[in-house]
Amino acid sequence: MGKWKIVILILALAGAGYATWRYARNQKTEPKYRFAKVERGDLAQNVTATGTLQPLIVVKVGTQVSGTLQKINVDFNSPVKANEVVAQLDPDLLQAKTSQDRANLARAEANVLKQKASLAEAERTLKRQKELRGQNVISQAELDAAQSAYEVALALVAVAEAEVAQAKAALELSQINLKHATITSPIDGVVVSRDVDVGQTVAASLQSPTLFTIANDLTKMQVHANVDEADIGKVKPQQPVTFTVDAFPEDVFKGQVAQIRLNPTTVQNVVTYTVVIDADNPGAKLLPGLTANVALLVAKRENALKAPNAAMRFQPGPDAVIVAPPAPAGSAGKEAKAESVGKEAKGPPGAGAPREMGKYSRGEGGKGGSGGKWGGGRREASSTVYVALPDGKLKPIKLKP
C-alpha cells in the first residue's frame, strides 16, 4: 500500500510540473524596458588624445672647450640663476696656452720695432745714394739696389705688424677658452638632468657635449598631444582643453591650444599631428615626462534637448508599436504618430531603450543620425525616440532637425 502512495505522489508532481511548463510556454514574455528622462542641458563634443608634459623652455648646457671636470656645483633639481657657476673645467692647459700666446704677442711687437729700425736705415741709405747719384759718384744700379732695399724694409714692417695682429687674436682666443672653462647657467631655472661627474673628460672637438639640462619655469608647462588626422580639422588655436595624468587621477587640469604643428608623424600608417597645449602648473605639481590624457573641446551646445545614445538607437519589435507610413513630401520633421500599439511598457514615462543608457549624444537643433553630431554614430536624415505614455504604451517621437 505504501508503494502505491509513493507512485501516486510522483505522478501528481510530474503532472503539476508538466502543466506549469505548458502554461509558461503559452504565455508571451512581455518586453522589459529601461527608461531615462529627456531633459535639457549643455552638450560638448571633445577630441581625445594622449600627449607628454614638457617644460615651456628647456636649455641644454654644454661646453665649448675640452678638458677634465674639476668641480660640479649643482645636482638634480637644483635651482639656478642666470650666470651662476654650475661647473669648472681644469684650467691648467688653457692657462698655459694663454701664457704662450701672450709671449708670442710680445715677440711680434718686438719684431715690429726691429723692422721699423731696418726701414729707417734703408730710408737713410736710399737718400744718401740719391745724392751720390746726382753727383755721378755711383751708378744707377747701386741706386736701384738702395731703392729695392728700402721697399723690402717697408714690406717687412707691414708683415711684422700683421704678425702682431695675429698674435693678439690668438691671445684673445686663448683668454675666451680660459673663460669657457668656467661653465655658467644661461637662464634662471631648475636642473632637471645632470649627465657628467667630477673627473670625467669632455671632448668638444666635434660637437658640444651636454652637461646639464635646465628647465626655465616649471610653473608653466606644455602638453605635446598627438591628434589623429581625422580629428585635426576640428582643432583650432585658443580652444579650451582639460587633461588628466595617471599620477594624480582625481585631478583635472586645464589648458589652451597654443599651436598646431604642420609636420605630420606617421607610425604604422597612422598619421598624427602634434598639438601644443599651454597649461599652468601651480606648485610644480605636474612633472616633465608625464603622460596626459587630453580632451579638446571642439564644439558646445547650450540648453539642448538631450536623449541618451541607447534611446536614439532603440527600435521596438513590430508587435510593440507600429509606426505610421512615411509622411508626404514637405512634411518632414513633423511628429510621427502611432497607428496601433500592442505590448505595454513597464516603467515611468520617458525615452525607452532595451539596455543600459549611455552618454547623452545629441540635442534639439542637432544634425540627424543615430549618434548624431554629438555621439559619433551613423548620420541619418532624422532620429526617433520612443516615449512611454501614461498607459504604459510606446509612442514614437521624431526629433525635429
111: region left, alpha or beta (phi > 0 left; psi from -120 to 50 alpha)? alpha
pLDDT higher at 239 or 283: 239
Better-predicted residue by pLDDT, 203 or 36: 203
Mean pLDDT (whole number) for 192-217: 90
Q: Which of 157, 131, 120, 126 is nearest to 144 (CA)?
A: 126
pLDDT of residue 234: 94
> pLDDT tens-digit profile of 348-383?
444 444 433 334 444 443 333 333 334 333 344 456
- According to the model, what pLDDT value does residue 400 have? 61
25 inside domain = no
Examine the domain organization and report whether 290 and 260 are in the same domain: yes
Pairing of strands 321-323, 384-388: unpaired
Contact 200, 212 (CB under 8 A): no
> Are the beta carbons of 316 and 31 closer than 8 angstroms?
yes
CATH number of the domain to which 266 belongs: 2.40.30.170
| pLDDT score, position 349 | 44
Do 98 and 161 have their domain in common? yes
Query: Do 133 and 208 reside in the same domain of the chain?
Result: no
In a domain, 11, yes or no: no
Q: Which tens digits make up the pLDDT trace of 311-328?
A: 777 776 655 544 444 444
Q: For residues 314 and 336, what is the distance between their CA atoms, to the nearest angstrom?
A: 16
Residue 78 CB contacts under 8 Å (≥ 6 apart), including other chains: 190, 191
Q: How far apart are the first and last CA of the chain?
A: 80
- What's the average model confidence in pLDDT over 16-25? 70
Here the cell at position 51 is 600627449
Shared-domain flag, residues 295 and 364:
no
pLDDT at 286: 94
Interval 104-116 mean pLDDT: 95
Same domain, 155 and 51: no
194 band by pLDDT with thresholds 50, 70 and 90: very high
- Is residue 29, in this structure, part of any structural domain at all? no
pLDDT at 308 over 90: no
Tell whether 255 and 387 lie within a shared domain.
no
Are residues 279 and 167 located together in one domain of the fold? no
One domain, residues 209 and 253: no
pLDDT digits 0-9 by tens, 36-90: 788 888 888 899 999 999 999 999 999 999 999 999 999 999 999 999 999 999 9
Per-residue pLDDT, averaged over 108-128, amounts to: 93
Is the pLDDT confidence value at 342 over 90?
Answer: no
User: If you count DSSP H runs as helices and E runs as strands, how many of each does the chain have, helices first?
Assistant: 5, 21
Distance CA 347, CA 340 (A): 19
Out of 197, 216, 235, pick the residue that ends a domain.
216
pLDDT in tens, 148-170: 999 999 999 999 999 999 999 99
Where would I find the beta strands (DSSP E) of 56-102? 58-62, 67-72, 79-80, 85-89
> Is 24 domain-assigned?
no
d(CA 357, CA 370): 14
Q: Is residue 23 part of a domain?
A: no
Domain identity same for 295 and 170: no
Residue 175 burial (CB count, 10 A): 15
Task: Judge if 310 and 391 occupy the same domain.
Answer: yes
pLDDT score at 29: 58
- What's the chain's average pLDDT? 81
Which position has the higher pLDDT, 50 or 330?
50
pLDDT of residue 100 exceeding 90 = yes
Look up the domain containing 282 and give its range.
47-56+217-300
pLDDT at residue 36 in the model: 78
pLDDT beyond 80 at 261 = yes
Task: Report yes or no on 13 lying in a domain.
Answer: no
Q: Are residues 209 and 287 in the same domain?
A: no
CA dist 298 and 335 (Å) reads 31
Q: Do 235 and 313 have their domain in common?
A: no
According to the model, what pLDDT value does residue 352 have?
Answer: 47
Give the domain CATH number at 174. Answer: 1.10.287.470
Last residue of a domain, one of 257, 272, 300: 300
The strand order across the sheet containing 85-89 reads 182-184, 85-89, 67-72, 201-202
Residue 3 lies in a domain: no
In a domain, 332, yes or no: yes
Q: What is the CATH number of the domain that holds 196?
A: 2.40.50.100
Please state the domain count of the chain: 4
Domain edge (last residue) among 244, 269, 300: 300
Structure confidence at residue 344 (pLDDT) = 40
- Which range has the worst mean pLDDT, 86-95, 253-262, 337-346? 337-346
